[in-house]
Amino acid sequence: MSEPQGLDVELLEPLLQEFVALVGLAKTMLIVDTYGGLQLYIAAVPHADSALARLVGLESALALGKEFGLTRLRIPKAGAALRAIRDRRIRADHAHKSLRELVLAYGLSERRICEILAADPAGAGAGPGLFD
């Protein structure tokens, strides 16, 4: 999936910003959901059957290994921030992607995508109602 650059990623901690740049938002969210609050050892050359490779795919695990290999990283618990960023990206992508494309790109159900699209966090639709 192509990641829109600079869209709210600056709200994340620097380590997670690097993860998003290397493996994308969806895979960064998987890492945070699985290892948030824990230390994660990243091998220089992860094996295909390593826990990290099974979670995000070998290609992404290798990219992380190249950048952070042989280190133990404390993964922040940033699930709420990542979900807020994801939701904003979904709303932005909706201008040029169909519901089906959003579901496939973000790995969410149609129902969840519709809920995200219906939410109005900025209050943009808070004008007068039809009968006001």
Residue 3 above 90 pLDDT?
A: no
Question: Does residue 127 lie in a domain region?
Answer: no
Alpha-carbon distance of 49 to 10, in angstroms, equals: 32
Banded pLDDT at 79 (limits 50, 70, 90):
confident
Q: Are residues 51 and 104 in the same domain?
A: no
Q: In the predicted model, what is the mean pLDDT of the chain?
A: 88
What single letter denotes the amino acid at residue 27? Answer: K
Cβ-proximal residues to 8 (8 Å cutoff; 6+ apart), any chain: 84, 85, 88, 89
> For residue 5, is pLDDT > 60?
no
Whether 84 and 73 share a structural domain: no
Mean pLDDT of 96-119: 96
Q: What is the pLDDT of residue 95?
A: 94
CA 63/CA 23 separation, integer angstroms? 7
Distance CA 100, CA 63 (A): 29
The confidence band for 8, taking pLDDT boundaries of 50, 70 and 90, is confident
State residue 37's pLDDT score: 95
Domain span including residue 23: 9-77
Q: What gap in Å lies between CA 98 and CA 38, rounded to an integer?
A: 37
The 3-state secondary structure of 28-70 reads HHHHHHHHCCCEEEECCCCCCCCHHHHHHCHHHHHHHHHHHCC
* 36-49 average pLDDT score: 97
Q: What is the distance, to the nearest Å, from the Cα of residue 118 to the centroid of all Cα atoms in its chain?
A: 20
Number of folded domains in the chain? Answer: 2
Number of H helices, E strands in the chain: 7, 2
Res. 7 pLDDT band, cuts 50 70 90: low
Query: For the segment 24-36, what is each residue's pLDDT rounded down to a tens digit?
Result: 988 998 999 999 9
> Is residue 86 within 8 Å of 78, Cβ to Cβ?
no
- Per-residue confidence (pLDDT) for residue 49, from 0 to 100: 97
Domain shared by 71 and 98, yes or no: no
